[in-house]
Amino acid sequence: MSEVESRLAELQSTLAGHKRTEYTLEADYEASREELRKSVDALSVIKSLNAQMTTIETLYQDNLFFSNELEGLKQLFPRRSTHSTEHSTVQDCCPVR
């Protein structure tokens, strides 16, 4: 019986080792899934920020374009010194002919 008991103890030890390995693999699997979820979330945030940056760049370019257009119009139509806040109405400033 001693040989049988010895073999049984060996198999129980091997089984315990396999259970520990299985537990470790399950924990590693769950940790990997959590890391993957975090990576997917981060990728989603990066995509959203990229879209926002594209919008900001477009708005900046539009603003630059219209600023240049406004400066050009100011050059074409400079303000006259007689146009000031001393006029109370449009008719005072620009009488109808």
Which is nearest to 84 in space by CA: 75, 93, 71, 76?
93
Tens-digit pLDDT profile for residues 24-41: 999 999 999 999 999 999
Indicate whether 83 pLDDT > 70.
no
Answer yes or no: is 61 within a domain.
yes
Which is nearest to 60 in space by CA: 47, 48, 52?
52
Please give the pLDDT value at position 14. 93
Please, what is the average pLDDT of the chain? 88
> How far apart are alpha carbons 56 and 58 in whole angstroms?
5
Answer yes or no: is 87 within a domain.
no
pLDDT tier at 90 (50, 70, 90 boundaries)? low
Find the mean pLDDT for residues 53-71.
97
Positions of E strands within the chain: none
Q: How many domains does the chain have?
A: 1
- The residues, any chain, with a CB within 8 Å of residue 93's CB and separated by 6 or more, are 83, 87
Q: Are 50 and 42 in contact (CB under 8 A)?
A: no
Answer yes or no: is 82 within a domain.
no
Residue-range definition of the domain harbouring residue 30: 2-76
Answer yes or no: is 96 within a domain.
no
Answer yes or no: is 58 within a domain.
yes
Answer yes or no: is 83 within a domain.
no
